[in-house]
Structure 1
Amino acid sequence: MNSKVINKIKKAIIESPYPVPESWAFTSLQNLMTFRNGYAFKSKDFNEDKNGLPVIRIRNVKENKSDLYYDGEYDSKYLIKPGDLLVTMDGDFIASIWTGNISLQNQRVGKVIVNDKYDKTFMYYIINPLLKEINKKTEFVTVKHLSSKVINSLPIPVPPLEEQKRIVNKLEESNRIINEINFKLNQAKKLIKKRHDALLRKAFNGELVPQKEEEEKAIDLIKKLEDSRNRERKKKIAIKTLCPNHYPHPIPESWEWVKISGIYDMQTGATPSRSREDFFHGTIPWIKTGEVKWNEIFDSEEHISEEAYLKSSVKKIPANSVLIAMYGQGVTRGRAGINKVEVTTNQAVCSLINNEHIDSKYTLYFFMEGYKRFRNLSVGGNQKNLSAKLISEFEFPLPPLAEQKRIVECLEKEFEDENKTLKLIEIAEQNLEKMRESLVWKAYRGELVEQRPEEGTGLELLKEIIIDIFS
């Protein structure tokens, strides 16, 4: 062994950051692998028609699949095959063994080419907690970047190769059990969601609580609603009920089908001029659709001034009204909430003004039950929206007020029990992830499996690797 190789071995050995078994060594990651950065493929050659090869971007590393393809020239060294170890170098840093199809390695995706004498799967398990630590240290950095220099300098344990394999087997078996438990917990959540939806359907079919003969009928409630709504109106209204032949589904005899516009006064909001910065330095809550999420609303992200209220078409919405998000990306459109204080809203929120004859929570649950159905009624081009006119035409099953309150009470009791169970499931999932992390850290410190003298030492293995590199 020449002096150059001896010096390389001496430099390769670093101090262990943690107490580890005597048979182990520690070295920098650069001594155990070759790191290859990705390539900035020209976006003009990207397509979603599956022409060419898939391109692995940062988001694809965890998903192990890509729907974006590249149809142009490339260097074969940027080909990624199943089993290759990848690292994301922007955002949240993770390592993953690629299980997707043969693909191309895009920029800011790193490939770790592990020395044949070191177990690649062991490397995958060891790198991830180190990347997680880097994530924590850069938590408040707006744009996070991981450099090749940082990757190369990561402190990596070197157990004997056979011990690495035993550690991997232990981790894989533990992960299999954890994944099985997680699967069962996920199935339990699906059953709870299924039961939740069934309870809502029963509620609005009139099957959740029994009807009571001594309670007034919905038709009597409608008369009170008419009197109440006509009290300050010049043009009197008459609330129309649906003919039984047009019922969306059967309901108890004491109920009636009506339209939302028949039982609620409705308002939409507005946005004061953004050119007046002082308009948004007030104390009046101003609600946007993102804040409407099946919740009770006590305050808002933004507030407007009294002058903004007076100089715009914004309207004040009395407490205990039902607010409905008409626009919004993702899950926002169609959600409802109840304002517990007087508020204003922007134009994307429709308010059903609180009245004493309808329980606001009953109406909230009505929108919850019909959430998917109402979203499908949305209209528009690229972004479908609800409208106040559309909402006004929704058909509403109206029970007597006392029964509305009993339905709400029953649902809230059931949902409270559901939430307790879901919280326990969430705690179990968190504990399983802590267990998974704990097992990896035990592996990192040499505490997961016993050491066997006949398997040699990590120092001997590290010497073999260095000699292999420089021979």
Structure 2
Amino acid sequence: MPNSLNPLLQTHFDTALEHPNGIKKLRELILTLAMQGKLVSQDPNDQLASELLKEIQVEKARLLAEGKIKKSEALPAVKEEEKPFVIPKGWEWVRLGEVGEMQTGTTPETKDQSNYGKFIPFIGPGDIKNYKIEYNENGLSEKGLEKARLIKANSIMIVCIGGSIGKVALNDRDVSCNQQINTVTPYNSIFYHYIFYSVDSPYFQKTILQNAGGSATPIINKLKLSKIPIPLPPPAEQKRIVEKIDELMALCDELERLKKSKETKRKDLHQSIITQMLEADSQESFQKYFQFLTTHFHELYSVKENVKELRKAILQLAVMGKLVEQDPSDQPASELLKEIQAEKARLVEEGKVKKSEALQPIKEEEKPFVIPKGWEWVRLGEVLQKFGAGSTPLGGKSVYTTDGIMFLRSQNVWNDGLYLDDVARISKSIHEKMKGTKVIGNDILLNITGASIGRSTIFPLNFEEANVSQHVAILRTFTPSIVTYLHKLIISDFFQNLVFKEQVGVSREGLSMTKLSKFPLPLPPLAEQKRIVEKVDEFLALCDELEERIGKAEEKRGEILKGMVNDTYSRNCI
């Protein structure tokens, strides 16, 4: 950053660069300093702003006499209590409506298509993006313009309604606009850029919101907008201010490009390392990339996006058998499968579960990666004794009660547990009628429809009774010993990719139970499953710590950045 930069900007530069919204706040500080006369030095030889106002009045009178503008109501002088900060000697407080012709756009009759054509652009709020106007081919005809308003080039266009209220842009050509935009066409075109920056300043934007009416949708009319005071410097200083703002905004643009490039490189490097770890064909190769990751840990994990990717990688490495070392003394997964088959046979014989059709062996082309020795590929249906969706009681929401049995819906099921703030409840009698939808401790719940498809959690042991809706599937294993590993596998990218590949319909209408039962899963030895779960929990706890640390750092920088403008503003307030 240039040595000639304002000390206030220099002080907060590093903070601004490291915060997600830092450069935005830096831009706000630049405009705040500019409006307060702190961005460039004053020159006692400059023509006073009071003289400029006299020239503006002369220009306005001429335009009125020539019929080029309409006579507007005289605006009252700016009162002392309306002046939010002290301005330098030679400046003047004026109302926005004093420095230019103000207009509100209008829309010609849309049913009459002869009003529309390519004679002049017709602008709406959606055409104003990033301070620039996207000029569409569709505009007004000459006839249409007669029923609309002509906005001359180099006018300030201000959105006056809705969520984008206060959004501004300069038009570089004559246009027309709809009624959701107010415009200011300066009487003296020399300083239109200064007026643009004034309107975009944090002070002016805050004042717009303070004066906006409307209970649900904020709106500010032309009269209220015209009465907002702005600080007016001498013409020569306006020029210096605009030049300095342009210089600093260009620097902010460059900083944003550099920041984006840095973040992209960091993300690409992180993704490359993760990919190399996932594709490593030996433990030696894996350790090489893992060591690089740990060496550059703090640099790579200073942003939440990379921590999110790390979470995914941990789970993926876990199900591929790369997160912990194998122990040749572990009982192989094939023995675990024999125990599961024996338990299944016992339950069938006792009539506790129905005999199911045998699932086809897993083909080689269904195996997306090589699993370690001692592991087995199995289909999900092979390890489950209960496998099906819930249902909704007859009567829908009308059967919900204020107390009773929990009725879990997809919005209650999250990967990190049950969210019960808005849990529905049903009566004991309905609960008993819906026996097939009852859940018990260690059941895995899986969302199978809608935007939350694939989200999953384990129903806790010794939890109160519950039923589930048709949007949630119950997965109950033959042995509780594999539940925790199976849940980690379900929330991994490996399983989630299968879900999104096999879901019914393009709108995530539902996940077929038949297809779900056929999903191929990598099953480790039971002892290794325990080690995997412990290691995953350890790493995910580290991810929680990282995100908390990043969040606190961003919060601290955010407080500093918020104070940048507020402190600058308050130190100069009356």
Tell me the TM-score range normalised by the shorter chain: 0.7 to 0.9
**What is the Cα deviation at residue 297 of structure 1?**
0.8
Query: Residue in 1 aligned with 2:77?
Result: 11
1:315-335 CA-partner distances (Å, limit 9, x unpaired): 121234322222223xx2222
Contact 1:239 1:262 in 2 (8 A): yes
Alignment of 1:299-314 (within 5 A): 299=420, 301-306=422-427, 307-311=429-433
RMSD: 4.7
Alpha-carbon distance in structure 2 between the residues aligned to 1:148 and 1:70: 26
**What is the Cα deviation at residue 222 of structure 1?**
1.5
Partner-residue secondary structure (3-state), 1:413: helix
1:30 corresponds to 2:154 = no
Please tell me the residue identity of whatever aligns with 1:91: G
Contact 1:270 1:345 in 2 (8 A): yes
Query: Residue in 1 aligned with 2:417?
Result: 296
Relative to structure 1, the CA distance from residue 210 to residue 230 in structure 2 (aligned partners, 3 Å threshold; closer, same or farther) is same
Query: Residue in 2 aligned with 1:227?
Result: 342
Relative to structure 1, the CA distance from residue 113 to residue 310 in structure 2 (aligned partners, 3 Å threshold; closer, same or farther) is farther
Please tell me the residue identity of whatever aligns with 2:493: E
Please tell me the residue identity of whatever aligns with 2:161: M
Alpha-carbon distance in structure 1 between the residues aligned to 2:432 and 2:536: 40
1:352 corresponds to 2:475 = yes
**What is the Cα deviation at residue 16 of structure 1?**
4.0
Instruction: Mark the runs of 5 or more structure 2 residues left unpaired by the alignment.
Output: 1-53, 62-72, 268-302
Please tell me the residue identity of whatever aligns with 1:317: V
Alpha-carbon distance in structure 1 between the residues aligned to 2:401 and 2:211: 36
Alpha-carbon distance in structure 2 between the residues aligned to 1:417 and 1:326: 30
Please tell me the residue identity of whatever aligns with 2:341: E
Alpha-carbon distance in structure 2 between the residues aligned to 1:284 and 1:140: 43
Alpha-carbon distance in structure 1 between the residues aligned to 2:169 and 2:530: 55
Partner-residue secondary structure (3-state), 1:357: helix
Relative to structure 1, the CA distance from residue 315 to residue 366 in structure 2 (aligned partners, 3 Å threshold; closer, same or farther) is closer
1:172 corresponds to 2:249 = yes
Partner-residue secondary structure (3-state), 2:316: helix
Partner-residue secondary structure (3-state), 1:353: strand
**What is the Cα deviation at residue 123 of structure 1?**
2.0
1:219-250 CA-partner distances (Å, limit 9, x unpaired): 12222222334443334466775355753321
Alignment of 1:251-400 (within 5 A): 251-264=371-384, 265-274=386-395, 277-297=398-418, 299=420, 301-306=422-427, 307-311=429-433, 315-329=437-451, 332-340=452-460, 341=463, 342-353=465-476, 355-360=479-484, 362-370=486-494, 371-380=496-505, 383-400=508-525
Contact 2:96 2:229 in 1 (8 A): yes
**What is the Cα deviation at residue 417 of structure 1?**
2.5
Alpha-carbon distance in structure 1 between the residues aligned to 2:401 and 2:87: 62
Query: Residue in 1 aligned with 2:370?
Result: 250
Please tell me the residue identity of whatever aligns with 1:268: A
Partner-residue secondary structure (3-state), 1:223: helix
**What is the Cα deviation at residue 391 of structure 1?**
1.9
Higher mean C-alpha displacement, 35-44 vs 399-408:
35-44
Alpha-carbon distance in structure 1 between the residues aligned to 2:546 and 2:112: 50
Contact 1:334 1:374 in 2 (8 A): yes
1:296-326 CA-partner distances (Å, limit 9, x unpaired): 1152513222234245577121234322222
**What is the Cα deviation at residue 392 of structure 1?**
1.7
Greater relative CO, 1 or 2 (CA 8 Å, sep 6+): 1
Alignment of 1:199-218 (within 5 A): 199-218=314-333
Alpha-carbon distance in structure 2 between the residues aligned to 1:440 and 1:295: 39
- Equivalent position to 1:89, from 136, 161, 186: 161
Partner-residue secondary structure (3-state), 2:491: helix
Higher mean C-alpha displacement, 14-23 vs 344-353:
14-23
Relative to structure 1, the CA distance from residue 245 to residue 394 in structure 2 (aligned partners, 3 Å threshold; closer, same or farther) is closer
Please tell me the residue identity of whatever aligns with 1:378: Q
1:182-223 CA-partner distances (Å, limit 9, x unpaired): 634674444444444333332121111111122221112222
Partner-residue secondary structure (3-state), 2:335: helix
Relative to structure 1, the CA distance from residue 313 to residue 433 in structure 2 (aligned partners, 3 Å threshold; closer, same or farther) is same
Relative to structure 1, the CA distance from residue 85 to residue 244 in structure 2 (aligned partners, 3 Å threshold; closer, same or farther) is same
Instruction: Mark the runs of 5 or more structure 1 residues left unpaired by the alignment.
Output: 449-471
Higher helix fraction (1 or 2): 2
Alpha-carbon distance in structure 2 between the residues aligned to 1:101 and 1:349: 57
Contact 2:124 2:181 in 1 (8 A): yes
Higher mean C-alpha displacement, 371-380 vs 428-437:
428-437
1:125 corresponds to 2:219 = no
Contact 2:392 2:470 in 1 (8 A): yes
Report percent identity of matched pairs.
Answer: 20
Alignment of 1:60-99 (within 5 A): 61=129, 75=145, 77=149, 85-87=157-159, 89-91=161-163, 93-97=165-169
Contact 1:336 1:368 in 2 (8 A): no
Alpha-carbon distance in structure 1 between the residues aligned to 2:390 and 2:112: 45
Relative to structure 1, the CA distance from residue 107 to residue 240 in structure 2 (aligned partners, 3 Å threshold; closer, same or farther) is same
Alpha-carbon distance in structure 1 between the residues aligned to 2:208 and 2:326: 61
Alpha-carbon distance in structure 2 between the residues aligned to 1:352 and 1:107: 57
Relative to structure 1, the CA distance from residue 205 to residue 88 in structure 2 (aligned partners, 3 Å threshold; closer, same or farther) is farther
Q: TM-score, normalised by structure 1?
A: 0.73
Please tell me the residue identity of whatever aligns with 1:309: H
**What is the Cα deviation at residue 393 of structure 1?**
1.9
Relative to structure 1, the CA distance from residue 192 to residue 258 in structure 2 (aligned partners, 3 Å threshold; closer, same or farther) is same
Contact 2:409 2:471 in 1 (8 A): yes
Alpha-carbon distance in structure 2 between the residues aligned to 1:101 and 1:292: 55
Please tell me the residue identity of whatever aligns with 2:96: L
Alpha-carbon distance in structure 2 between the residues aligned to 1:205 and 1:15: 69
